[in-house]
A and B are shown apart, each in its own frame.
Chain A
């Protein structure tokens, strides 16, 4: 299990919250042809502006030698959760739903602002910065992974993003 120790010091609150969520868990299962072991860190969502919807982010490390795929996300806080990606075309950005995301063997998948994210739609109640909730990630091979997400204010998301980039500078901005 990998914990995050190098954190931006200009937003200690966000950093502290991330440290707590940085140890969310591994999911060793062997439903697939090969055993797939995933490690997840930095699970966070933005505090929704108008309370209707928000985006969820996390980083996944695939510790095994087989690809896996994130196929669904569910949580009691939202009636629907969709996997989205943001496309950049020059200076323009737009997002679109995708059916699944691959977590490559031995590699990482980062969901981060401006890139891949989980849209939580039809939120069932208020989510405030500092709140925590559970979500279930469904993988094709690793099965289900329970995670705990923390809600961060939009102004604190850049610290979360910086933390992901620090560990994976080539990753999605």
Chain B
């Protein structure tokens, strides 16, 4: 009975968490994502891409709409659903729009996510998606600087451990600021609504 009571309590928590996000800001901006009260600046960082080459985030993404997500390839649903949904929507955009996006997946599990594994995983969604890895402390610093929750690794046994991570995708527009984030639960219809709009967004009003 004790067991079932604690399970019931967690259901309530999850329901509350699931209902709360995602709606603020939409009325004023017309976006389906969550608009930040204060936009977040790009953080300067260099990590390693899936070719083993250094990737200067700020320089390489300048002039693009950049979707940035922190996750890991052993993730059962949040990470692959975000990647699959973004890939499906980008694929349907005209090429001249699609070329204005960069999608970047930073692993929060660098021990298991080798560059090769990251590449193989991302290729299942879109070969143009960029995978980055590096030192775990450095990746946590970057997440913190972006105002995201840092990832947590719980070592259960050597082969199989659990990773906690931010569930939202940050969207940087061409002004190099992230004005919007997309929580888990963002549908393809929402991405299809917002992505083309982000390409020409000037944030002037």
Enumerate chain A interface residues (CB-CB to B < 8 A): 10, 46, 49-50, 53-55, 67, 69, 84-96, 98-102, 104, 113-115, 117, 119, 121, 153-155, 157-158, 162, 170-173
Contacts and interface: CB of A to CB of B under 8 A. Distances in A.
Given A94-B164, A95-B162, A114-B18, A155 B87 contact: yes
A113 B78 contact: yes
A114 B34 CA distance: 18
Contacts of A113: 77-78, 81
Nearest to B34: A91
Contact of B162 (A49, A88, A94, A162): A94
Contacts of B81: 113, 154, 157-158
Contacts of B88: 155
Given A98-B7, A121-B160, A173-B185, A153 B167 contact: no
A53 to B, nearest CB: 7
Interface of B: 3-4, 7-8, 10-11, 13-15, 17-19, 21, 73-74, 76-78, 80-81, 83-85, 87-88, 117, 120-121, 124-125, 148-149, 151-152, 154, 160, 162-168, 183-185, 187-189
Contacts of B78: 86, 93, 113-114
Majority-rule SS of A interface residues: mixed
A92 B167 contact: yes
A101 B7 contact: yes
Contacts of B163: 94
Contacts of A102: 3-4, 7-8
Contacts of B167: 88, 91-93, 114
B121 A88 contact: no
Contacts of A85: 10, 14
22 contacts: A49-B121, A50-B124, A55-B77, A85-B14, A86-B78, A89-B149, A89-B164, A92-B167, A94-B162, A98-B7, A99-B3, A104-B4, A113-B78, A114-B77, A114-B167, A117-B76, A154-B77, A155-B85, A155-B188, A173-B14, A173-B15, A173-B19
A114 B85 contact: no
A54 B76 contact: yes
Most B-side CB within 10 Å, residue of A50, A155, A170, A172? A155
A50 B73 CA distance: 9
A17 B188 CA distance: 19
A46 B151 CA distance: 24
B76 A53 contact: yes
B76 A84 contact: yes
Nearest to A11: B188
Given A46-B80, A88-B13, A113-B81, A173 B18 contact: yes
Nearest to A69: B4
Contacts of A115: 14, 18
Most A-side CB within 10 Å, residue of B80, B148, B183? B80
B69 to A, nearest CB: 12
B189 A10 contact: yes
Contacts of A100: 3, 7
